[in-house]
Structure 1
């Protein structure tokens, strides 16, 4: 999954010959998982048709303040378009449009939307060599950068005039890669490694049966998504689960038993900056595992259990620089038990949830949690979906590691 997945991208197209490349650009944004809307200057429609871009983006294409449909004028709200966008990409960006952007000239829908937007803006210049190097154009570049807009540099090559030189719009693949890298470089967990455990563990009784629990892994997978979207390199060690994740920054390490999870976690721990252990690891396993399926011959069966290795405790003992987060699922004396676990296992933070809270716990899409840190600060939250809980968790972690 791309860092652009789920983002709302507003593509602004101006009247340059490079506009023909925007069909490929829209396809790449959509392929990355982004939602794309297109705003065109009126003159840009001479270079590529709105129908092409509408078909590829699966949204209407906007080019004027009103649309006349069945004799009823409809207003295209530039403010709403600007608020909808998570980022604006203007490609190609002609010298004319760049000058208007730099000087606050507002004579079409695209410029009105640009001036209304609160999100990051990227612009990919496209013009002839002499125009690209002209002092007025260079001044537009400088002014727009001072506004916080980001320039996708033009490349050198054959231009529409027949000249060869700088001013050619970057290729669609390069524009997407540039934006992804720029977003990634500004994320708060860029360069950090996050280790996460998720799901249950299964402890074999025989080749067919096992001891397990009802953990779905949803919480751990949501935590992994948020960590990756914040720029971290994520190792997700997961027990058996139906949950799926596809993200370029997430490596999934599947395991089955508590011992396998213990080994996997310790394999990555030394290089980890943040470790979040949300898996529901079995506390006990059968002392002996039958080689063959146990037959139902007797009226009862006795299985002797032995303790599994305590993964969280072992990481607390081995902790050097890591920020270590544990989970506590309790049914009684919740706060007292969670605080005790926090201290015993040398954690920086513990996430408490209770099976007594409706909507919390295994298999639900929601959770109700309380954060307790090693300074004895307690923060309670209302019932939320697990994606929001994961975001709250990283908001808390970031406060600590940036303090």
Structure 2
């Protein structure tokens, strides 16, 4: 087909659409997915008319440049109307179908109809593409702003909690030290009996438990970075020490332990803090298994990864962690225990990250595993 014939066809198609514009928009409004209370209902009508105007312009000029203004307007209005993108695309395709049907029923010859279908297909494809592109970009922008706001709020709240935790811990630690001192004096001055020794043991255990909770608050409130004295930490030795320390509790709860500690590995850090991490996770495992029917198992393994990291996993076969908690289990005050503070795992995460390591949890029907990685020295 030569250019003069094509130009003539485009002119005839443009003329046909100009005559049918009102009819096309009316039929389109009858079929679109658009509630009557849509805040942009009247604008949608205008957009329908403008869509045909831009199609006519395309037939006359062969340019789609003006289409960007229309698609940008449509996308903004659909975002503000909280419209579903599927409905949005469906409505454009409804308009496409109506134009095709009218074209096929027109008095234009077959060649002109064929030429018209190809031209209109190109136009409507571009209309859908640009509209969805604009819509998606605006949606992503809104989501990014919301996520940034949430993260800033979350950071501010954690900072405030850290400050409260530090203040709380220091205010309690001072009188606690005095109480411990007077208990010690009372033990020395009072006549010792089997009953009084039993009472003092209970008091000391409860005081130790309270001190541990205060220590957790202080860990939580510390700034990132390892200000403590660094030393070579033999991870295998620490693991064996903690497993031996926990042995009475393993026996009491009928827990079977299995270990695969491999070769000796050394990291740099603070051994007391690493012990705190190991103890927290082992105690959590024991507490979880204490209410578990059937065989109770804890598996501990340690291995090198490419001579750059050491990977430590502590697994138990208790109830899996619910999915809704799994992603947030290391956040402060998140716990599966009815009487838990939700600080233990948060402290573990902070200590591990201060040692340039990572900690993650995987939970399934068979085992829940805490996997810790430290850089090797």
* Interval of TM-score (by shorter of Structure 1 and Structure 2): under 0.3
TM-score (norm 2): 0.23
TM-score (norm 1): 0.22
Q: Which structure has the larger Rg over C-alpha atoms? A: 2
